[in-house]
Structures are given as C-alpha cells and as structure tokens.
Structure 1
Amino acid sequence: MKTILKIALPILLISFLTTSCATTVRVRPARTIVITKLHNPTVIVHKSVRYYRSGGVWYVKNNRGYRTVAAPVGVKVATLPRGYKVVKVKGVRYYRCNGVYYKRARRGYVIVNV
C-alpha cells in the first residue's frame, strides 16, 4: 500500500500543479459586405473564379449581390487603383492600396503577399 502511495501521490501532485498547454481561440465572423450594385467594375477571371474590382476593393458575385473578398494572390492587373502608396519592404518596392500589395511586372502589376 505504501508503494502505491509513493507512486500515485507524486503523479497526482504533478498533474494538478502543471499548467495546460491548451489555448483558447476565438473565431470571429468574417467581415464581409454584400452590396447589390457595383459602379464600373473590372472583371478578372483567376482560377475559374470571376472577381470584380471596383475602387480598389475586390468582390465575388453571389445570389444576393457582390460580396467583398480578399484580393487573390497572383492575379495580374493592368493598372493600380486610385489612392495607392509606394512602400519599400526589405528594399523591394511595392504599391499598397486597401491592404493589398502589388508588385510591378511586365505590362502591369501582380498581387503579392508581403
């Protein structure tokens, strides 16, 4: 009986005194906006998905209207949206507008992750 107590007691103490490695993750709803009409959107097809760009914001069409989405990385666009800023990251020149980074490419700009 004493040997069981000698083994069980330290195990119980260790299990109660150690902290858990579990973390709490809060999932928040996505901040998407659905609008019914776009003014003069540019249509860009990328990986079989039709994206609409208007005013530097990217949309995908659904049955209720146009839903805002993150800019698709790798898409090539001919022109930058109005209001872009020139940003240098680690010596590389990027163009930023509404949180989207563009990099100069042949005959246009490519959306990249920075």
Structure 2
Amino acid sequence: MKMVLKTGLVVLLISFLSTSCATAVRVQPANTVVVTKLHHPKVVVHNNVRYYRSNGVWYVKRNRGYRVVTAPVGVRVAALPRGYKVVKVRGVKYYKHRGVYYKRTGRQYVVVRV
C-alpha cells in the first residue's frame, strides 16, 4: 500500500510540475511602410526635419526609401491634398484627409491635433 501511495504521489507531483506554461505569441507585420519612389512630392521643412508629402501622405527619407510617418503637428502647408473633407468638431471647422486634420490660418493650413 505504501508503494502505491508513493507512486501516486510521485506521478501527481511530476504531472503538477510538468504542466505547460505555453504562451500564445501573435506575429504582426511592422507598422512601417517604406516606399522607394514618390510621385511629385512637396518638401516641407519643420523643426529641421525634411518631410515629403505626396497625395496627402507624409514621408521621411530613410536610407534608400521614404518611410510613412504621421503628419507633424504645427507644420504649415499652402494647399490641401485632393479628396479632403470639411468637418466640424465642437463648432470649429477643420479639413480632414486620411486622418490628418488641418485648420485654415490666413492663406495657409496648419496640421492640428483634434
């Protein structure tokens, strides 16, 4: 009887200690998009950084390509990209294109955070 009890205790202890602690890992692609060529980009310098804007998408030059970045808040542009929408947020008129909000100041537009 003692032998059965010892064997059962050893089996129980081994099964308890050898339980799997498996972790689920999700592999996702990188959020950065790199483009090798831009179609007629507009160059905008803001805080000593050269930004390239093409079709309403903002880029920064990296190595041999252009990396997509978020529009820098406070940068001024002379013209809005094609396809913008006029929106009102809390009674203030903004111009929105691809998630970037612009506010008109005089003859220019400023990228703002809403």
Give the shorter-chain TM-score range: 0.7 to 0.9
> RMSD of aligned C-alpha atoms?
1.5
Instruction: Give the aligned partner of residue 40 of structure 1.
Output: 40
Query: 1:101 is aligned with what amino acid?
Result: Y
Pairwise CA distance, 1:113? 0.2
Runs of 5+ consecutive residues of structure 2 not aligned to the other structure:
1-27
Greater shift after overlay, 85-94 or 29-38? 29-38
Instruction: Give the aligned partner of residue 112 of structure 2.
Output: 112
Query: 1:107 is aligned with what amino acid?
Result: R
Q: Distance in 2 between matches of 1:108 and 1:76?
A: 6
Instruction: Give the aligned partner of residue 94 of structure 2.
Output: 94
How is 1:47-66 mapped onto 2 (pairs within 5 angstroms)?
Answer: 47-66=47-66
Runs of 5+ consecutive residues of structure 1 not aligned to the other structure:
1-27
The alignment covers a number of residue pairs equal to 88
Q: Which ranges of 4 or more aligned residues in structure 1 deviate by more than 3 Å?
A: none
Q: Distance in 1 between matches of 2:85 and 2:47?
A: 28
* 1:37 partner SS: coil
If you compute each CA radius of gyration, which structure gives the higher value, 1 or 2? 2
* 1:82 partner SS: coil
Q: Distance in 2 between matches of 1:57 and 1:67?
A: 10
Pairwise CA distance, 1:64? 2.9
Query: 1:77 is aligned with what amino acid?
Result: V
TM-score (norm. length: structure 1): 0.73
Query: 1:66 is aligned with what amino acid?
Result: Y
